[in-house]
């Protein structure tokens, strides 16, 4: 239907009469007022002016936010019309920096008089009177999209172009602590939904001209601004080109509401549970990633930025590891790896041992389990499934409930249901322990995307354990490893640096070795400038 974003001729269907209500439903990208029998862009000044604007003015009745301000340039009879959207354009700026100069300070040079308009009147106004930092000249037909972005359009009678003045009054949330990535120690700063604000924060933290930004617009109809951020001089050029290429070749959707859409559209492998781009709303994570040589994608309208490429290790890392000292940091990281293992495999190990290899558990434990399971109607695998699904339901419910209620329901639900189930003899107490341990372990995983994948993986492991016991668990582990090993994120193998082994990268892998030892950027990224830590030079 529409061919490209800049459509000069867009047709409004003949058949339907354009009732005022329907008008607000027409595509904003269509130049308002273009009729099929009209030859657009060109024609006499007056004619070209009046029609589109006339249209808009007429529609004012239905579009109450569209404002017009007609005035005369000071000391002349030249008519000017200012057109803008009410709340989207900053009234203060319009008053102070557009109307005021033109109404009060405007003066043409002495030769001109009211009747004769200099041919470069627009330029004069633009260059000498508008105290605004962003003014461009556009053709009449392009004006409407600018107005809908919050700019103000200034038409001077007799001109065939229109001045578009940046009066965007960006509405955004104040910076707040990121909820999903809370830390004990670290900056409590999170992005907000405004791309400009977010870029500003980044620039503030990295006062380095090498921080480069490439801007694009995505979304057929909503044309959101997207920024690709990278550190020139560090980042690998191939990676950058690949990211750009994928975004350019992205499927054209009407709207890209969240960076998640971008993530799904540019990732290599859809048929996997593992994210190939990391999403975060913490600027400190972004800056660290940039300095490692990764590429970051920011989208207007969401605080979540994307980092590419991603490896499996990153799912289990948290900025806190670096802010605390290295020994606790390393130990906690080890704990996380262990917790990740538990969360995937604990129920399946339970099933495997209780129902297949009873000989492999200590005798006293075997006796207790046998005693407590006496009278439980379900086989262990059914029991596990039921309990795990119940926990997942509780967890999802907890997310949707309002904050004060959510916590209580989570705790109470877990305790009460578990307790009641045990009393009723539906599940064994050991199962409740196993399930709670698994659930708690999954909260240790710092990345939400990673956490989700592992929760799902757990069920596959349980099925395999239920059919083939320990062999099934081993088989599942094998298949999972093979899958991970074949996965790549922007060309970087997902299981780096475990494989291929880049030993120098191991300093930041399972353990977090002292800062002094991390002298190089990750080899797996093949950055331009490898060295990140230089021995201190003498300070005077």
Closest to 28 (Cα-Cα) out of 188, 121, 150 = 150
Does 481 participate in binding another protein (rule CB under 8 A)?
A: yes
Does 479 participate in binding another protein (rule CB under 8 A)?
A: yes
Q: Which stretch binds another protein (CB under 8 A): 17-25, 277-285, 385-393, 462-470?
A: 462-470
Residue indicated by tokens 């005798």: 363
Closest to 292 (Cα-Cα) out of 505, 148, 458, 484 = 505
Does 475 participate in binding another protein (rule CB under 8 A)?
A: yes
Does 173 participate in binding another protein (rule CB under 8 A)?
A: no
CA-based end-to-end distance of the chain:
68
Give whichever of 40 and 472 is closer to another protein, judged by the CB atom. 472
Q: According to CB under 8 A, which one of 363, 423, 535, 537 is a site residue for another protein?
A: 363
- Tokens linked to 72: 């005369």
Q: Which stretch binds another protein (CB under 8 A): 82-90, 200-208, 363-371, 528-536?
A: 363-371
Q: Sheet containing 211-218: give its strands across.
A: 211-218, 224-231, 295-299, 305-308, 278-280
Task: Count residues near another protein (CB under 8 A).
Answer: 53
| DSSP conformation class of 529 | -
Does 376 participate in binding another protein (rule CB under 8 A)?
A: yes
417 Cβ partners below 8 Å, 6+ apart? 390, 394
Does 150 participate in binding another protein (rule CB under 8 A)?
A: no
CB 458 within 8 A of CB 341: no
Q: Which stretch binds another protein (CB under 8 A): 85-93, 104-112, 297-305, 466-474?
A: 466-474
In angstroms, what is the minimal distance from the CB of 517 to another protein? 20
In angstroms, what is the minimal distance from the CB of 383 to another protein? 9
Question: 60 burial class (0-12, 13-18, 19+ CB within 10 angstroms)?
Answer: middle
In angstroms, what is the minimal distance from the CB of 87 to another protein? 46
Q: What are phi and psi of 222, to 5 degrees?
A: -100, -15
Spatial separation of the C-alpha atoms in residues 318 and 324, rounded to whole Å: 11
Spatial separation of the C-alpha atoms in residues 46 and 56, rounded to whole Å: 15
Q: According to CB under 8 A, which one of 32, 52, 150, 469 is a site residue for another protein?
A: 469
Q: Which stretch binds another protein (CB under 8 A): 61-69, 167-175, 237-245, 284-292?
A: 237-245
Q: According to CB under 8 A, which one of 35, 217, 325, 357 is a site residue for another protein?
A: 357
Spatial separation of the C-alpha atoms in residues 355 and 182, rounded to whole Å: 40
Does 334 participate in binding another protein (rule CB under 8 A)?
A: no
Does 176 participate in binding another protein (rule CB under 8 A)?
A: no
Does 232 participate in binding another protein (rule CB under 8 A)?
A: no
Spatial separation of the C-alpha atoms in residues 151 and 153, rounded to whole Å: 7
Give whichever of 122 and 339 is closer to another protein, judged by the CB atom. 339
Give whichever of 195 and 387 is closer to another protein, judged by the CB atom. 387
The residues with which 218 forms a beta bridge, in sequence order, are 224
Q: According to CB under 8 A, which one of 76, 145, 236, 280 is a site residue for another protein?
A: 236
Q: Is the omega angle on the peptide bond into residue 500 within 30 degrees of 0, that is, cis?
A: yes
Q: According to CB under 8 A, which one of 110, 254, 374, 396 is a site residue for another protein?
A: 374
Q: Which of residues 501-540 bind another protein (CB under 8 A)?
A: 501, 525-526
Mark 177-216 with x for binding to another protein (rule: CB under 8 A) and - for no binding.
Answer: ----------------------------------------
Give whichever of 379 and 398 is closer to another protein, judged by the CB atom. 379
Spatial separation of the C-alpha atoms in residues 10 and 3, rounded to whole Å: 9
Q: Which of residues 240-259 bind another protein (CB under 8 A)?
A: 242
Q: According to CB under 8 A, which one of 139, 183, 394, 485 is a site residue for another protein?
A: 485
Does 499 participate in binding another protein (rule CB under 8 A)?
A: yes
Does 495 participate in binding another protein (rule CB under 8 A)?
A: yes
Closest to 62 (Cα-Cα) out of 19, 98, 95, 28 = 19
CB 69 within 8 A of CB 152: no
Closest to 438 (Cα-Cα) out of 512, 517, 352, 338 = 338
In angstroms, what is the minimal distance from the CB of 185 to another protein? 31
Q: Which stretch binds another protein (CB under 8 A): 3-11, 78-86, 431-439, 489-497?
A: 489-497
Does 482 participate in binding another protein (rule CB under 8 A)?
A: yes
Q: Which stretch binds another protein (CB under 8 A): 51-59, 269-277, 370-378, 441-449?
A: 370-378
CB 90 within 8 A of CB 167: yes
265 Cβ partners below 8 Å, 6+ apart? 250, 251, 253
Give whichever of 314 and 492 is closer to another protein, judged by the CB atom. 492
Does 433 participate in binding another protein (rule CB under 8 A)?
A: no
Q: Which of residues 298-327 bind another protein (CB under 8 A)?
A: 309
Write out the DSSP string of 69-132.
EEEE-TTS--EEEEEEETTTB-HHHIIIIIIHIIIII----TT--SSPPPTTHHHHIIIII---
In angstroms, what is the minimal distance from the CB of 260 to another protein? 23
Distance set, CA 207 to CA 201, 229, 299, 487, 532 (Å): 10, 14, 21, 35, 17
CB 402 within 8 A of CB 351: no
Binding site for another protein (CB under 8 A): 236, 238-239, 242, 309, 354-363, 366-374, 376, 379-381, 466-471, 474-475, 478-479, 481-482, 485-486, 490-493, 495, 498-501, 525-526
């Amino acid at each position: 239907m529409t061919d490209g974003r800049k459509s000069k001729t867009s047709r409004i269907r003949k058949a339907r009469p354009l009732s005022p209500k329907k008008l607000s439903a027409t595509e904003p990208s269509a130049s308002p007022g273009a009729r099929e029998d009209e030859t657009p862009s060109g024609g006499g000044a007056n004619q070209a002016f009046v029609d589109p604007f006339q249209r808009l003015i007429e529609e004012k009745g239905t579009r109450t936010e569209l404002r017009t301000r007609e005035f005369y340039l000071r000391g002349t009879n030249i008519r000017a019309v200012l057109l803008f959207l009410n709340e989207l354009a900053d009234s203060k700026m319009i008053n102070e920096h557009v109307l005021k100069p033109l109404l009060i300070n405007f003066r043409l040079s002495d030769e001109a008089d009211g009747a004769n308009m200099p041919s470069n009147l627009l330029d004069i106004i633009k260059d000498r009177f508008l105290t605004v930092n962003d003014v461009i000249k556009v053709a009449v037909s392009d004006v409407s999209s600018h107005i809908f972005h919050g700019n103000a359009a200034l038409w001077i009678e007799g001109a065939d172009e229109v001045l578009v003045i940046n009066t965007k009054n960006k509405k955004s949330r104040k910076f707040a602590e990121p909820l999903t990535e809370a830390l004990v120690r670290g900056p409590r700063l999170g992005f907000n939904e405004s791309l400009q604000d977010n870029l500003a924060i980044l620039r503030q933290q990295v006062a380095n001209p090498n921080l480069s930004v490439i801007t694009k617009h995505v979304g057929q109809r909503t044309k959101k601004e997207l920024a690709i951020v990278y550190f020139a001089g560090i980042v690998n050029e191939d990676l950058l080109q690949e990211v750009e290429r994928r975004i350019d070749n992205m499927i054209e959707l009407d709207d890209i509401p969240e960076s998640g859409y971008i993530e799904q559209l540019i990732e290599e492998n859809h048929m996997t549970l593992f994210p190939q781009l990391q999403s975060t709303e913490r600027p400190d994570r972004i800056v660290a990633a940039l300095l490692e040589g990764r590429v970051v994608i920011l989208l207007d309208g969401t605080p979540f930025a994307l980092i590419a490429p991603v490896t499996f290790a990153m799912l289990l890392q948290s900025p806190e590891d670096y802010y605390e000292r290295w020994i606790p940091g390393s130990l906690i990281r080890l704990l996380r790896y262990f917790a990740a293992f538990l969360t995937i495999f604990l129920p399946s190990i339970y099933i495997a041992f209780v129902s297949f290899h009873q000989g492999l558990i200590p005798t006293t434990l075997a006796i207790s389990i046998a005693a407590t399971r006496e009278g439980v109607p379900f086989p262990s695998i059914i029991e596990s499934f039921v309990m795990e699904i119940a926990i997942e339901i509780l967890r999802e419910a907890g997310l949707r409930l309002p904050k004060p209620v959510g916590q209580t329901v989570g705790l109470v639900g877990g305790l009460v249901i578990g307790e009641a189930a045990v009393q009723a003899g539906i599940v064994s107490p050991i199962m409740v322990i196993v399930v709670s341990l698994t659930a708690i372990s999954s909260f240790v995983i710092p990345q939400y995307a990673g956490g989700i994948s592992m929760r799902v993986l757990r069920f596959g492991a349980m099925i395999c354990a239920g059919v083939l016991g320990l062999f099934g668990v081993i088989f599942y582990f094998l298949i999972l490893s093979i899958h991970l090993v074949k996965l790549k994120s922007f060309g970087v193998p997902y299981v780096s640096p475990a494989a291929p082994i880049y030993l120098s990268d191991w300093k930041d892998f399972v353990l977090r070795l002292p800062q002094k030892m991390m002298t190089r950027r990750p080899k797996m990224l093949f950055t331009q400038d490898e060295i990140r830590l230089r021995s201190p030079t003498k300070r005077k």
